[in-house]
Amino acid sequence: MAEPTYEELKARLAELEKQGTTRRTGSLDFRVSEKGGVSVYGLGRFPVTLYYEQWIRLLDVSDSFGSSCKRTRTSSS
């Protein structure tokens, strides 16, 4: 495999810098792995990866979890 040229490296760096700024704006990025895991990028320093069954379980309790978070937030402030 040949080494990339200076221009190719500059283009790649510009692409990576653009990706880095998108994550800082609070946007989320979803990626599916070969094994079927879905990773969410942009929540924190590391991605969160769950498989189909885990996403279903999480989404099933999302309403009660959201309500619990809201109650906790209002009672602590």
- The structure's pTM equals 0.55
Q: Which has the minimum average pLDDT: 3-7, 17-21, 63-67?
A: 17-21
Map out the domains of the chain as residue ranges: 27-64
User: What is the model's pLDDT at position 24?
Assistant: 57
User: How do residues 7-47 score in pLDDT, each as one tens digit?
Assistant: 888 888 888 878 766 555 678 999 999 999 999 999 999 99
CB 23 within 8 A of CB 42: yes
Collapse the DSSP code of 36 into the 3-class scheme (helix H, G, I; strand E, B; otherwise coil) and give the result.
coil
